[in-house]
Structure 1
């Protein structure tokens, strides 16, 4: 990991930008991007926090755009019931003026794993520009906070996950469970009757 910081750190903001695109394009087995940004800043405190956060958010947004496109290719493997279910929540967000902006901002501004959001967007065939706008602003805000409190936030996190691979696998596992849960919620019942009901949890047509 240190080799990556040294290699791309030589290219300053542009190198960091490329790293963030790569990390956010991958659906799994990648550390949270705020850890990468914070680590770059701790190695080079001369970096401007605001610019670093904006560069990181831009790279993260582009990466998630690519991830959404890739995820959309797997829609044909999704069961018809889940496919119809995902379209319902997509239509609901389309009817809300700021639906995609708010949803993406909340994921971007919090520690929630955003890969599950953009995988869901891909399966839903979401097309709103708002999903990227909300995510960019959310990520910029969260990155500024994380970078400013670098050592205070990063050190305890790494101590909890001393084995980084274990930590990454745990986060990815939680993300996969959330994707299955998201696809299994009966959104028609939830939206119209305000009740939580699940459909048959068979996601893939295999």
Structure 2
């Protein structure tokens, strides 16, 4: 809590910087809404709308960094997975506002978005709409979660000291989700509307 109090001294700018760093990290970090709620609990004078906008902006910049770092790891992905990622990427590009809608729907939930942007990085997605959709989705979800934070908030210190295994479990599920996503035969699914998988070989070392 001492660290949070120090950051709070810098008001919105301090919160903005810490959120960029947290969202640029692929794993081992709590959901951003919990961090925002912790700051709000320390300083209830913070404006909910402003805090939501600051949070969405910091989260989007951080995820932009994470996506670009993740793109360098595409060379380690199996050729079949690369082909599948290209197919779903082309499919979203052909749909008007495809990336915007996908990112908004995901951003509007309190779910961690690290693996979403790692997947975007592996896909080498370049649509600006994915950032716009994510920003609007996160701004909305942060405002809702902050509004009810007095009911659902678990202090950040407790998360690290007593429920760290929960973060590890959540990261494990997220990694499994990426492997599952890249193992889907998207060409078969899009063409025949039937689920089929390719060999789940994600990393080639």
Task: Identify the TM-score tier after normalising by the shorter chain.
Answer: over 0.9
Judged with a 3 Å threshold, the aligned counterparts in structure 2 of structure 1 residues 42 and 64 are, in CA distance, closer, same or farther, namely same
Q: Which residue of 2 aligns with 1:109?
A: 108
Corresponding residue of 2:20: 21
TM-fit CA distance, 1:98: 1.0
> TM-score, normalised to structure 2's length?
0.95
- 1:144–1:46 Cα change, 3 Å: same
CA RMSD of aligned residues (A): 1.8
| Deviations 1:2-59, CA, capped at 9 Å, x for gaps | 1321121110000000111011000000000000000100110000000000000000
Q: Which residue of 1 aligns with 2:119?
A: 120
Structure 2: stretches of 5+ with no match in the other structure: none
Distance in 1 of aligned mates of 2:110 and 2:55:
15
Query: C-alpha separation between the residues in 2 aligned to 1:205 and 1:56?
Result: 36
1:51 paired with 2:30, answer: no
Q: Name 2:195's counterpart in structure 1.
A: 196
1:140-151 superposed matches below 5 A: 140-151=139-150
After superposing the two structures, state which structure 1 stretch, 8-17 or 150-159, moved more. Answer: 150-159
**1:47-126 paired onto structure 2 within 5 Å:** 47-126=46-125
Report the Cα distance in structure 1 between the residues aligned to 2:10 and 2:114, rounded to whole angstroms.
26
Separation in structure 2 between the aligned mates of residue 156 and residue 186 of structure 1, nearest angstrom:
41
Provide TM-score, normalisation by structure 1: 0.95
Verify the 8 A CA contact 1:107 1:113 in the aligned structure 2: no
Measured in 1, the distance between the counterparts of 2:184 and 2:157 equals: 34
Moved runs in structure 1, 4+ residues, more than 6 A? 156-162
Give, in whole Å, the separation in 1 of the partners of 2:3 and 2:107: 24
> 8 Å contact 1:71–1:123 — kept in the other structure?
yes
Q: What is the CA–CA distance in structure 1 between the aligned matches of 2:88 and 2:186, rounded to whole Å?
A: 6
Unaligned 5+ runs, structure 1: none
